[in-house]
Amino acid sequence: MPKLPSPFLVLLHTHFTLLLISIPFQVNSQIPNTEELTILLNIKQELGNPPSLSSWNATSSPCDWPEITCIENSVTEISLQNKTITQKIPPTICNLKNLTSLDLSLNDIAGEFPDILNCTRLEILDLSQNLFVGPLPNDIDLLSALQYINFGANNFSGDIPPSIGRLSELQKLYLYQNEFDGTFPKEIGNLSNLEVLGLAFNEKMKPASIPVEFGKLKKLQTLWINDANLMGEIPDSLTNLTSLEILSLAINNLTGPIPSGLFSLKNLKNLYLFHNNLSGELPNSFEGRNLVELDLSANNLTGSIPEDLGELQNLQLFNLFSNQFSGKLPPSIGLMPSLTGFRVFENKLSGVLPPEIGLHSKLEAFEVSSNQFSGQLPQHLCAAGVLTGVVAFSNNLSGEVPKSLGNCSTLRTVQLHHNKFSGEIPSGIWTAFNLSSLVLSNNSFSGELPREVSCNLKNLTIGHNRFSGQIPAVVAF
C-alpha cells in the first residue's frame, strides 16, 4: 500500500479534526517547490549574493519573492531589472522548466552571451543595458518560443546570426546600440509575426542597403534603423508594410528618391528620414492622412512642397529644412489644425508666408530662414500663446514686425536679420521675459531704442538699421 503523507491519514480517519487540519493542508499546497527553491538559492549564490536579492532565503517560497512570478507554485517569470547584478546568470536557470520570462535588463553583467539556450520555453528575454560583449550564438533559434528579444544597449559584436529569422513566434526584436559589424540578415524578413524591429545606433555595421525582404513583415508597426550605416535606396518593398506606424531611417547615407508609396501608408504616424542623402521630389498627392510627425530634413530633396502636406489634419511636426525645395508654400499650411513645429529653413522657397499660420494650431516654432520668402511676417504666429521662436533671417521679407509679437511672453528667440523689415519693434519684444536672443541686424528698422531690455537677453544684435537713441542698458542678472 502506498504511503500517504500523514495529514492525509488524519483527514481520512478523523472527521473531528477536519477543521483543524484543513489549515496546514492548505499551506501544504503552497509549500515551496523545494527543487525550484534550491535552484534559485544556488543562482543567488553564483550571482555573489547581491543585497538586492535579500528576500531570497530558504524559509520562504520563491513565489512570494518580489522578483518571481509563479503559476501553480512553479516559477514562470524572473525579473531582475536594475538589481546591481554583475555576475553572469548560470545555466542552471534553465532547470526551472516552466520559465517563460527572464529580465536581466539594467545591470552590469559583463562577458559573452549567457549560457541559457536550454531555457527552451522562454518567451521573453531581456538582456538590455548591460555590458555584454562578443557575438550572439548562432544557434539562438534553439530558444524557439521567443516572442520578445531585447539585447539593446550592450556591446554585442560580430554578425547578427541569420538563424534569428527562424524564431517564428517573435513579435518584438530590439538589437539597438551594439557593436555589430556585419550586415542585417535578410532572414529577419521571415519573421512573419514581427511587430517591432529596432536596429538603430549600430554605427559599426558594414555599409549596406536595407534588405528588400524586410518588406515581407506584414505585421510590422515600428521599423527603427537610425544611424546604422545604411546606404543605397529605400527599397520599394517597404511600401508593402501596411501596418507600419513608425518608420525611422534617419542619420544614414540613403540615396535616391523616397518611394512615393510610403506616403500612402494609411497607418503611418511618424516618418523620420532626416540626415540622409535622399533626392528627387515628393509625390503630389498621397493617401497617408494620419501623419503626426514628418521629418525629412537635411537631405537633398527638390521640387515643391506638395499641397497635400497642408491637408494633413494631424500633422504636428513639419520638418523639411536643409533641402533644396523650391517654389511657393501651399496656402493650406496656414490652416493646419495640429501644427506645432514648422521648419523649412535652408531651402530655395519663395513667395509669401502663409498669412494664417498660428491662428489654427498651437504653434511653437516658426523657422523659415535662408530662403527667398518675400512679403510680411504672418500676423498671428503667437495667437495660441505658446510660440518660442521666430527664425526668419536671410530672406526678402519686408513690412513691420506684427504688433501681436509684442504680447508673446513665451518667445525665446527672434532672428530677423538680413531682410527688408522696417518700422518700429513692438515694445513688448524688448522686454519679453524669456527672450534670450534678439537679432535684428541688416534691416531698415527705425524708432527709439528702449531704455531697458529683458534680463535674460544674451544676444542682442541691432547693427545696420535706422534705430535712434542710446544703446539700452542690459539689466544685470
Ligand X SMILES: *[C@@H]1O[C@H](CO)[C@@H](O)[C@H](O)[C@H]1NC(C)=O
Binding residues for ligand X (CB under 6 A): 33, 36, 55, 57, 59-60, 64-65, 71-72, 74, 82, 91, 97-98, 106, 115, 118, 131, 153-155, 165, 186-187, 189-190, 213, 215, 231, 236-237, 239-240, 253, 255, 277, 279, 300, 372, 374, 396, 398, 415, 420, 437, 439, 459, 461
In terms of CB distance, is 316 or 454 closer to ligand X?
454
Per-residue DSSP letter, 427 = H
Q: Helical H runs in 208-263?
A: none
Instruction: CB nearer to ligand X: give 186 or 464.
Output: 186
SS3 (DSSP) at 406: helix
CA of 51: how far to CAs of 56, 57, 59, in Å? 10, 12, 17
Contact of 133 with 156, CB cutoff 8 Å: yes
State in angstroms the smallest separation of the CB of 10 from ligand X.
25
Q: Could you tell me which of 64, 142, 143 has the C-alpha nearest to residue 100? A: 143
The contacts of residue 58 (CB under 8 Å, 6+ apart) are: 37, 41
- Cell matching residue 157: 559584436
- 22's CB contacts (< 8 A; 6+ apart) are none
Spatial separation of the C-alpha atoms in residues 117 and 120, rounded to whole Å: 7
With beta carbons less than 8 A apart as the criterion, state whether 347 and 371 touch: yes
- Looking at beta carbons only, is 348 or 451 nearer to ligand X? 348
Distance in Å, CB of 438 to ligand X, minimum: 9
CA–CA distances in Å: residue 176 to residues 138, 227, 345? 18, 10, 31
CA distance 85 to 63: 21
Q: Longest Cα pair distance anywhere in the chain, in angstroms?
A: 113
Measured CA to CA, the distance from residue 34 to residue 30 in angstroms comes to: 11
| Contact assessment for residue 255 and residue 233, using Cβ atoms and an 8 Å cutoff | yes
The distance of closest approach from Cβ of residue 19 to ligand X in the complex, given in angstroms and rounded to an integer, is 28
Minimum distance from residue 384 beta carbon to ligand X (Å): 25
**Smallest distance from the beta carbon of 357 to ligand X, in angstroms?**
20
Minimum gap (Å) between residue 285 Cβ and ligand X: 19
Of 316 and 465, nearer to ligand X (C-beta) is 465
Cα–Cα distance between 463 and 460 in angstroms, integer?
Answer: 10
Query: Measured from the CB atom, is 115 or 400 closer to ligand X?
Result: 115
DSSP state of 465: S
Instruction: Name the minimum Å distance from CB 149 to ligand X.
Output: 17
Q: What DSSP designation does 82 have?
A: T
Please say which residue, 340 or 442, places its beta carbon nearer to ligand X. Answer: 442
Taking the least distance from each CB to ligand X, the nearer of 152 and 406 is 152
State which residue, 305 or 439, has the beta carbon closest to ligand X: 439
The nearer residue to ligand X, 133 or 292, going by C-beta atoms, is 133
Hey, how many other C-beta atoms are within 10 angstroms of the C-beta on 105? 20
Which amino acid would we find at residue 48? G
Q: How far is the CB of 69 from ligand X (least distance, A)?
A: 12
Report d(CA 438, CA 431) in Å as an integer: 11
Smallest distance from the beta carbon of 132 to ligand X, in angstroms? 8
Phi and psi, residue 140, nearest 5°: -60, -20
Whether residue 196 contacts residue 225, with contact meaning beta carbons closer than 8 Å, is answered with no
Which residue's CB is nearer to ligand X, number 215 or number 450?
215
* 76, 69 contact by CB (below 8 A): yes
Tell the smallest beta-carbon distance from residue 383 to ligand X (Å).
26
Q: Which is nearer to ligand X, 91 or 134 (CB)?
A: 91
Q: How far is the CB of 25 from ligand X (least distance, A)?
A: 19
